[in-house]
C-alpha cells in the first residue's frame, strides 16, 4: 500500500478516511488535524495556559507531544493513584511521564494521592460507600477534583485530556443505551467553565481513533505504559468498545459517524436541557471547589480530610 501524498510505502491505512500515509506524512497529518479540531470547536488559543492531564498512556503523552509541536504553552499534570496490580502500575506510568517531560524540557506537576490526602485509590474504594470496593467511580471523582483544583490554583486557563474517539464513542453508546439525558447533554469536545471555580476543559483527540494515536506514539518513539489499569477488567466501557469495534470492522467509519452525528444533533438542539432544569453550584467550605453536594463536596466527604488545615 502506498502513501496517498508521496507514493512511498504507507505505514498506516485509515479506512474510514480512505487514506494511507507514510511515516513522514502521517506525523505531519496528526498535528494538522489536531489543530483543525482545536479551531473548529474553539478549544483554546496560543495565548492560553494549558494543563495536560497525563497518565503515562499513549493518548495523553501523544497529546502533550502534539501540543508541544504545535507551539502551545502546555504543562503536564500526573496524579499518583497508588495502583499496583502486581505490575507497579502507578510507578511505571509516572516514570513514563517523567521521562517524556525530561526529554522534551517540559514541566510536569505531580500530585500523589497518598501523600496529599492520606489514601490511595484502592484504599479509598475499600472505605467509601461510593466505591463499594470498586475503584473506578472513586478514581474518576478524585481525578476530576484534583485536576480542576490544580488548574485553578496555578492559573491555567484550560485543562485538556487525551480522550480519543473510541473513548468518546463508548461513553456515548453507554449513555444512549440507558438514555442518561444529563450525561448526553454534557458530553462535548469542550466543557465550558460554567462556574467561577471551574476551569474550561477540552478533548483535542476526540476525533482520532485509538489505533491512530497508538501509531502516532509508536512512530514518534514515545515510551508509554502498555498495560491497562488492573482495575479496568470487566468495566462496561471496555465491553462497549468491543461491541463498537465489531461494528467498525463491518462498517469502517461507523464510530466516527456515530459521534459526529451526535454532535450535530446537539447543535440542532436535540439534547437541550429543559428550561426548569438548573443545577445550583455552591463552593465547598473545605476545598473551595464548586459542588452540588452541600457544604462539603463529594471528594472532601470521601477522604474525610480538612483541606483548609492540610493545605
Q: Provide DSSP, 88-157.
A: THHHHHHHHHHHHHHHHT--EEEEEHHHHHS--HHHHHHH-TTTTT-HHHHHHHHHHHHHHHHHHHTT-S
Distance, CA of 171 to CA of 236 (rounded, Å):
9
Summarize pLDDT for 222-255 with one digit per residue, the tens: 999 988 887 777 789 999 999 999 999 999 999 9
* Between 194 and 140, residue with greater pLDDT: 140
* Mean pLDDT value across residues 270-275: 74
Residue 309 has pLDDT above 50, yes or no: no
Which of 10-14, 84-88, 150-154 has the least mean pLDDT? 84-88
**CA-to-CA distance for 100 and 106, rounded, in angstroms?**
8
CA distance linking residue 82 with residue 261, whole number of Å: 39
For residue 131, the model assigns a pLDDT of: 46
pTM for the whole structure: 0.90
Residue 129 has pLDDT above 70, yes or no: no
Residue 278 in this model has a pLDDT that exceeds 70: no
Percent of the chain with pLDDT over 70: 92
Whether the pLDDT of residue 277 is over 70: the answer is no
Q: Per-residue pLDDT tens for 76-119?
A: 999 999 887 556 888 999 999 999 999 999 999 999 998 988 88
Lowest mean pLDDT among 99-113, 117-131, 140-154, 219-233: 117-131
Q: Please report the pLDDT score of residue 85 as a whole number.
A: 56
CA distance 308 to 30: 44
Q: How many angstroms separate the CA atoms of 194 and 297, rounded?
A: 17
Give the pLDDT confidence score for residue 308 in this predicted structure.
37
Picking from 26-30, 228-232, 299-303, 306-310, which range would have the lowest pLDDT averaged per residue?
Answer: 306-310
What is the model's pLDDT at position 230?
Answer: 76
239 neighbors 95 (Cβ within 8 angstroms): no
Q: Return the minimum-mean-pLDDT range out of 37-41, 118-122, 133-137, 194-198.
A: 133-137
Average pLDDT score over the chain: 90
Question: Which domains does the chain carry?
Answer: 44-273 (3.40.50.620), 279-311 (no CATH)
Predicted confidence (pLDDT) at residue 311 exceeds the cutoff of 50: no
Residue 190 confidence (pLDDT): 97
Amino acid at each position: 500500500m502506498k502513501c496517498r501524498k508521496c507514493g512511498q510505502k504507507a505505514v498506516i491505512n485509515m479506512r474510514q478516511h480512505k487514506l494511507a500515509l507514510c511515516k513522514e506524512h502521517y506525523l505531519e497529518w496528526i498535528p494538522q488535524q489536531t489543530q483543525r479540531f482545536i479551531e473548529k470547536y474553539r478549544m483554546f488559543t496560543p495565548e492560553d495556559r494549558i494543563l495536560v492531564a497525563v497518565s503515562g498512556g499513549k493518548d495523553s503523552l501523544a497529546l502533550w507531544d502534539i501540543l508541544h509541536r504545535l507551539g502551545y504553552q502546555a504543562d503536564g499534570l500526573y496524579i499518583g493513584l497508588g495502583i499496583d496490580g502486581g505490575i507497579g502500575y502507578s510507578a511505571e506510568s509516572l516514570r513514563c511521564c517523567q521521562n517524556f517531560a525530561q526529554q522534551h524540557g517540559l514541566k510536569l506537576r505531580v500530585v500523589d494521592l497518598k501523600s496529599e490526602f492520606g489514601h490511595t485509590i484502592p484504599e479509598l474504594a475499600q472505605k467509601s460507600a461510593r466505591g463499594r470496593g470498586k475503584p473506578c467511580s472513586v478514581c474518576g471523582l478524585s481525578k476530576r477534583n484534583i485536576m480542576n483544583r490544580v488548574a485553578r490554583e496555578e492559573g491555567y486557563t484550560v485543562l485538556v485530556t487525551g480522550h480519543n474517539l473510541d473513548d468518546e464513542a463508548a461513553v456515548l453508546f453507554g449513555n444512549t443505551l440507558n438514555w442518561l439525558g444529563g450525561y448526553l447533554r454534557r458530553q462535548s469536545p469542550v466543557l465550558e467553565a460554567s462556574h467561577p471555580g471551574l476551569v474550561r476543559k477540552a478533548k483535542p483527540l476526540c476525533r482520532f481513533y485509538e489505533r491512530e494515536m497508538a501509531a502516532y506514539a509508536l512512530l514518534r518513539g514515545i515510551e508509554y505504559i502498555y498495560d491497562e489499569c488492573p482495575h479496568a477488567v470487566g468495566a462496561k466501557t471496555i465491553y462497549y468498545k468491543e461491541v463498537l469495534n465489531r461494528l467498525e470492522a463491518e462498517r469502517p467509519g461507523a464510530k466516527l459517524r456515530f459521534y459526529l452525528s451526535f454532535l450535530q444533533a446537539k447543535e440542532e438542539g436535540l439534547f437541550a436541557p429543559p428550561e426548569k432544569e438548573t443545577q445550583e453550584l455552591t463552593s465547598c467550605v473545605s476545598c473551595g471547589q464548586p459542588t452540588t453536594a452541600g457544604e462539603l463536596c463529594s471528594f472532601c466527604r470521601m477522604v474525610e480530610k480538612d483541606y483548609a488545615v492540610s493545605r
